[in-house]
Structure 1
Amino acid sequence: MKKFIIPLFLLISGSVFSQQAITAAPENTNRWTFGGGIGFGFGSNNYFNLSAAPRVGYRLTNDLEGGVLGSVSWQKSNAYSSTMFGVGPFLNYYIARTFFISANYQHYFINYKDKFYDFKANTDEDALYLGGGYMQQIGNNSYLQLGLMYNVLWKENSSIFSSGLVPNIGFVVGL
């Protein structure tokens, strides 16, 4: 009888402890978040674009995050080439870890060269993006973000950008 009761007791106690380990997963106490996005594009006239936008954030509350976002973009075609660097703060509010609302200010430093008219320009431009989107969890504390932003400072005839509307795809780790 001892040979039967002792293994049964060990089996039951092991099962109880393993259930506690599964249900009591440790909470993410690290408040720092990391992420960003990368992109590339091709088009007519040998157009090529490569961009990267790293970000570092801090969870002020479980649903509110603030931080700094950077961006770099290289564009080249038969007609022109440009390099653009941007930096600025961002603020994200998360709704049930499914949707987000975002505000993002960027100050851009732009180097532009038009090959047909032999025109060169070094300029800068400000952008204030407001928008939001959808989030899909892809890991324990990792999310894919799909959104749409609008630059409220965009002006049609004085901006280097062709439109104020900007789709965005990015990742965030640490939420």
Structure 2
Amino acid sequence: MKKIIIPMMLMISGSVFSQVSAGTTAENNNRWTFGGGIGLGFGSNSSFYLQASPRAGYRLTNDLEAGVMGSVSWQTSDFYKSTMFGVGPFANYYIARSFYVGASLQHYFINYQDKYYDYAVSKEETALYLGGGYMQKIGGNSYMQIGVMYNVLWKENESVFSSGLIPSVGFVVGL
């Protein structure tokens, strides 16, 4: 059950990126980007899902950005509850401000409690996401990103995630 619900909620949840530092733009040579994402989901059996993913990046060149991102998610239903924390580096390369390719290495700490069978599991998992997508400028130095990432370390029946494929929709400011 957990192998279906966790990735399904991750895929359903959209990410919204916003710049934290007010009044900074790429035009004034500020190379730092700050942002994050948030996800929210509801489902049957009193399912509830909440996720936050802060990130901080630095533009090494006008087309290459690297940084650190984290994630925390919490979900519960009538049958289970779980928390997941993740942290790791990321890098994105932007092509003509219309496309991007990226990589992200995330190490997750997962706590899962099955309410029906009354057992709990704590485990760790590392994911290496590779992928890319399309970018649409929405104003100033803000872009909407639509893409897909694949966890090349994913193994069926060994991962907490049901699939290695993760579609993504988000916004990024500060490029």
Normalising to structure 2: TM-score of the pair?
0.82
Gaps of 5+ in 1: 1-25
CA distance in 2, matches of 1:44, 1:165: 24
CA distance in 1, matches of 2:172, 2:54: 10
How far is 1:171 from its partner? 2.2
Greater Rg over alpha carbons, structure = 1
How far is 1:170 from its partner? 2.2
Q: Which has the higher helix share?
A: 1
The 5 Å alignment of 1:10-159 reads: 27-159=27-159
How far is 1:134 from its partner? 1.3
Runs of 4+ in structure 1 off by over 2 angstroms are none
**For residues 62-101 of structure 1, what are the alpha-carbon distances to aligned partners after superposition, in whole Å with 9 as ceiling and x for unaligned?**
1000000110111111111100010000010001111110
How far is 1:45 from its partner? 1.5
SS of the counterpart of 1:105? strand
SS of the counterpart of 2:162? coil
How far is 1:122 from its partner? 1.4
**Paired AA for residue 41 in structure 1:** G
CA distance in 1, matches of 2:38, 2:146: 13
CA contact (8 A) 1:37 1:169 kept: no
Gaps of 5+ in 2: 1-25
CA contact (8 A) 1:54 1:69 kept: yes
1:36–1:170: structure 2 CA closer, same or farther, 3 Å change rule? farther
Q: CA RMSD in A?
A: 1.3
How far is 1:28 from its partner? 3.6
**Paired AA for residue 153 in structure 1:** L
Q: Which has the higher contact order (CA 8 A, sep 6+)?
A: 2
Q: What's the % identity of the aligned pairs?
A: 73
Normalising to structure 1: TM-score of the pair?
0.82
**Paired AA for residue 139 in structure 1:** G
**For residues 127-155 of structure 1, what are the alpha-carbon distances to aligned partners after superposition, in whole Å with 9 as ceiling and x for unaligned?**
00001111122221112222111111111
